[in-house]
Structure 1
Amino acid sequence: MFDSKWPGRLESLACPEPTAPASSHDLVDGLLDLRVWPTMIVTEEARLVAANGAARAMLQQRTDWLIGPAGELRCSWASSTSEFHDRVKAVAAATAPVDMRYAECVTTTAGGRAVLMIARIGGGGHQATDEACETGPAHILVTWSDGTWRPNQSVCDMLVSAYRFTPTEARLSLALLEGHTVKGFAAATGVKTSTVRWHLRNILSKAECAGQRDLIKLLMSVITL
């Protein structure tokens, strides 16, 4: 079952802007196979939109995940489908930044432990404060890891440790991964755009990336949301 108070819930930003020229959904969809964990994109009704190779293999095994008659993603462990669907709907309809992402520990059908991460990558019911914000149907990223991810270490902490990012640089990196733009991050945090761009240059230098797309590729391959 879900551990509702699992300490992996992370902070997010209020207004995810589309990543030019592609939307955040298109960008993440195109990079799914960089992830070693089973990763899927679903709608707010939990209908499957895309899956990487690891997720397709897991679905074919029909152990912990199933596809229902309406194309919806279903859980085969401990009757948790309804709670999983509720989590997806809550992330899709969130109006507060803290509600845009969840990380949960679950017990699998084999009795093991796994980490299930749910994050919005575009659209949804949040209150947009900028015309550039995505306002279409929500797309939700679902990642299933082997449970080795440290629950008491946030993604930002990991980036600080692994790449010597400052806390601000780590938050900006995570925001870019979720589909925010530099301008959107500046508006949401009240920091000057020029200052945010300065932080971005530091990030690219430390991570040895040529640009934002290379940075997102790196983040997609090494971390979970």
Structure 2
Amino acid sequence: MAANAAVFADSLDGLDASLFLVDTDRRLIHANTAGQAMLDASDVLLELRGVLMACDSTVSQTLRQVFAAAGRGDQAHGINGLAISMIGLDGERHVAHVLSLTSGMRRNASAACSAVAALFVRKAALTILPRSEALRNAFKLTPAELRVMLAIVELGGVPEVAAALGVANTTIKTHVRRLFEKTGAARQADFVKLVAGYATPLRKPAECRQSVGATR
């Protein structure tokens, strides 16, 4: 079991996004390299006596509720579709996505380290990733679909993306529906893992598709 936990943790360390594994009481089980750097900066998230907290008290309370919900399973409060906006002490905006680890294959992956949720945190930059062309080619995405996928990862929900891109909510919903069809993703939160995989040189396209499939 310890070996499985080590392999699981190593696979997360290569992600560009800051990623944190936590238990139902917000105790930090693991932070990847980018996550540890964020904790060291203490401008968005921090670790206090082993507990993961946000610098913003309101966000910290939201995380408390979300991680407790994660312990009750994927369906609790629609946790896998949740995006949390964070403002760093430096004024930079970040978006956090929560992925429950308490069912199916994800439960097996996290059992060895007692984590109930993975928290992905990215700076909201709305920029095209250097390896996004590989992502676009792998799933035959149009330029608009690629931009919407990246915006979902950065900003979270349909209303936020529609406002950022200056289009109607219905337009974004249409793109999201096509993205589900092309990538095999089941929910918007799956886009986070997909994009993170293509942003990491250690991951191959086939592995990324399998990773998304494992969450369904």
* Alpha-carbon shift at residue 34 of structure 1 (Å): 2.6
Taking structure 1 as the reference length, the TM-score comes to 0.52
Structure 1 or 2: more helix by fraction: 2
Q: 2:119 aligns with which of 135, 142, 157?
A: 142
Amino acid at match of 1:30: D
Taking structure 2 as the reference length, the TM-score comes to 0.54
- Describe the SS at the equivalent of 1:104: strand
Q: 1:89 aligns with which of 45, 68, 71?
A: 68
Inter-partner Cα distance in structure 2 for 1:98 and 1:82? 15
* Alpha-carbon shift at residue 88 of structure 1 (Å): 1.4
Amino acid at match of 1:142: L
* Alpha-carbon shift at residue 60 of structure 1 (Å): 1.4
Inter-partner Cα distance in structure 2 for 1:32 and 1:159? 28
Residue correspondences, number: 153
Amino acid at match of 1:83: T
Q: Call closer, same or farther: CA 1:35–1:99 in 2, change over 3 Å.
A: same
Q: Which residue of 2 aligns with 1:60?
A: 40
Q: 1:166 aligns with which of 153, 159, 181?
A: 181
Q: Call closer, same or farther: CA 1:74–1:168 in 2, change over 3 Å.
A: closer
* Residues 101 and 118 in structure 2, CA contact (< 8 A), matched pair in contact too: yes
* Alpha-carbon shift at residue 98 of structure 1 (Å): 6.1
Q: Which consecutive unaligned segments of at least 5 residues does structure 2 have? A: 126-149, 162-171, 195-203
* Alpha-carbon shift at residue 216 of structure 1 (Å): 4.5
Q: Which residue of 1 aligns with 2:53?
A: 74
* Alpha-carbon shift at residue 168 of structure 1 (Å): 7.3
| 1:38 is the counterpart of 2:53 | no
* Alpha-carbon shift at residue 47 of structure 1 (Å): 0.7
| 1:48 is the counterpart of 2:63 | no
* Residues 19 and 32 in structure 2, CA contact (< 8 A), matched pair in contact too: yes
* Alpha-carbon shift at residue 61 of structure 1 (Å): 1.8
Backbone CA RMSD of aligned residues? 4.1
* Alpha-carbon shift at residue 115 of structure 1 (Å): 0.3
- Describe the SS at the equivalent of 2:184: helix
